[in-house]
Amino acid sequence: MRSLLTGTALGGILGAAAVGFAAMAWPQQEAVAPEDPRTATYQQIELFAEIFARAQRDYVVPIDEQEAMSAAINGMLTSLDPHSSYLDPEDFQSLQVQTSGEYGGLGLEVTMEDGFVKVISPMDGTPAALAGIKPGDFITAINGKPIIGQTLNDAVKEMRGERGTEIEITILREGIDPFEVKLVRDVIQQKSVTWRMEPGDIGYIRVSTFNERTTLLLEEAIDGIGRSAKPKGIVLDLRNNGGGLLDEAVRVSDHFLSGGEVVSTQGRRPIDVERRNATKGEVFKGVPMIVLINGGSASASEIVAGALQDRERALVVGTTSFGKGSVQSVIPLGADRGAIRLTTARYYTPAGRSIQALGIEPDVMVTQVRLTEEELAKIERWSEADLPHALENETGEKRPDLRKPDVQPPEGYEGEDFQLEQAVQMLREGRAAPSKLAMKAG
């Protein structure tokens, strides 16, 4: 069973203790035990069997029985939350390939919303990113065929394929008419970590996803930066990082911490608590560090940002993250039966915060574009809290409204990456030194 930051129903149903009323005032009446709560479930299963039989017998054309059953199972799971689903054997194999870091496709982190595929983030250097697809875009059709009625797994399956094959997707983007984008599938070799030195001896590390190769590539980046000279600052860029493997998020955090908690997870029962701790020996100890996040930073990237923020190892800069504070376990169902991806726990930052439906709030809010009050009011927010059936934060707290940023580009700004420029400038000027983290802007 593998944990991602991506049995029968009857087995999980517990009967409540029957509570009877003593027949004291009306001794002539017999006490009637309340109905066992499982009875209603058995009745619903009988209803499902009857409906399935009707469809088999009376539908206008013969139905694909296995496909119908898979859809029914998936429907039950997707009604729980946006991240639980059934994976048939082909989907299960595809997921295993994806987390290994190489597969044929477009390079998109996606979810399902209002019947359409919604882009969480395009992966760096992939056909999707090069074509200009943006976080928040909706994919409404694939090769002219509307997505409405398909599951997320079906849509993803259609977008994947052999290298060199063409695909056309229809994009719905806020404020403009729908448009088509033609892409050529490629082998998505997720080079999940890249690095370079910025002027002023500032090391820049970009982590685009958390797959099985992320830690290895991070160590190569650390070695490369360390060979140049001891850096005067480190930028860890997690923007548009849609998440991935929990273990990799812990290992990445571990490199920048010396002991202590990274994250804890809490399952359904109070005893289902697991704490993940860092080992001794952090890299670039004492070197000021900034973590960049935005609305496309989700799940595993939020674990890293939250750990480094709570442990006061780094200043978090950018905009509020996506807010996916749950852990999914992939549970194989046996030979040729696929698997289920099931939300089995919430995770908490070292300070005990659940960021589910809230996100990580940056210490310094910096936007990429300049926003007036009027433009800010018109922005349509998209986050975990806005997904159908999303888990609420158990504290009852709601995601904060959009607010004016602490820093935004000046009028007429023509640079390429204002957030990164600000992070580098803060490090050069000593405004992100560990000793000054108590002086966070807010």
Do 248 and 8 touch, CB atoms closer than 8 A?
no
Instruction: Give me 217's structure tokens.
Output: 């590539």
310 is catalytic: yes
Query: Which H or E run includes 15?
Result: none
d(CA 253, CA 10): 39
Q: How many CB atoms lie within 10 A of CB 122?
A: 26
Dihedral angle over CA of 288, 405, 130, 139, nearest 10: 130
Catalytic one of 124, 310, 329, 363: 310
d(CA 432, CA 442): 14
Do 278 and 254 touch, CB atoms closer than 8 A?
yes
String of DSSP letters for 365-380: EB-SS---HHHHHH--
d(CA 439, CA 430): 12
d(CA 62, CA 301): 46
Do 244 and 212 touch, CB atoms closer than 8 A?
no
d(CA 7, CA 397): 33
Three-state SS for 297?
Answer: coil
State phi, psi for 56 to the nearest 5 degrees.
Answer: -60, -40
d(CA 428, CA 233): 7
Three-state SS for 293?
Answer: strand
Catalytic one of 324, 326, 329, 383: 324
Catalytic one of 70, 85, 208, 299: 299
What one-letter code names the amino acid at 189? Q
299 is catalytic: yes
Catalytic positions:
299, 310, 324
